[in-house]
Amino acid sequence: MDNRKRVKVCAGLLGAALLTVTSVAPAATQFFQAPVQSVYPQGDGSFIVIFAQSSPSCSSQNNPQYFFVAAGQFGVNADGVKGMLATALTAFSLNRSLSIAFDDSTPNRYINRLAVQP
């Protein structure tokens, strides 16, 4: 194969790879902090956090807004779900604010990290 053909093949492969990579929608990480209104465990091990106020950075117009924690979503595994459930329940029982990072690019607004605030 001569050099021109190699360049064309490489350019074609590179273009296909870039098209594949750029077509994946990135997560739109948003941050929010508020008191927890309720924690709603689901039968599959996931849970939902509902806050006492709506997040202005969330694209959902629902009231209340539901924020989900689930294994396999937004980089969270099963052990992470368990730890975050304990943290969310602690914030709820102490009537403290919970700060979260969530993915606003999906309708479920998956949380991947959270912390109880003093």
Per the prediction, the chain carries an average pLDDT of 84
Residue 98 clears pLDDT 60, i.e. is over it: yes
Better-predicted residue by pLDDT, 50 or 14:
50
pLDDT value for 11:
43
Query: Dihedral sign, CA of 26, 29, 30, 36?
Result: positive
pTM: 0.76
User: What is the domain class of 29-116 according to CATH?
Assistant: mainly beta
Identify the burial level of 86 via C-beta atoms within 10 angstroms of its C-beta, where 0-12 means exposed, 13-18 middle and 19 or more buried: exposed
pLDDT above 70: percentage of residues in the chain? 77
pLDDT value for 65:
93
Q: What is the mean pLDDT of residues 60-79?
A: 94
Band the pLDDT of 57: cuts 50, 70, 90: confident
Domain ranges of the chain: 29-116
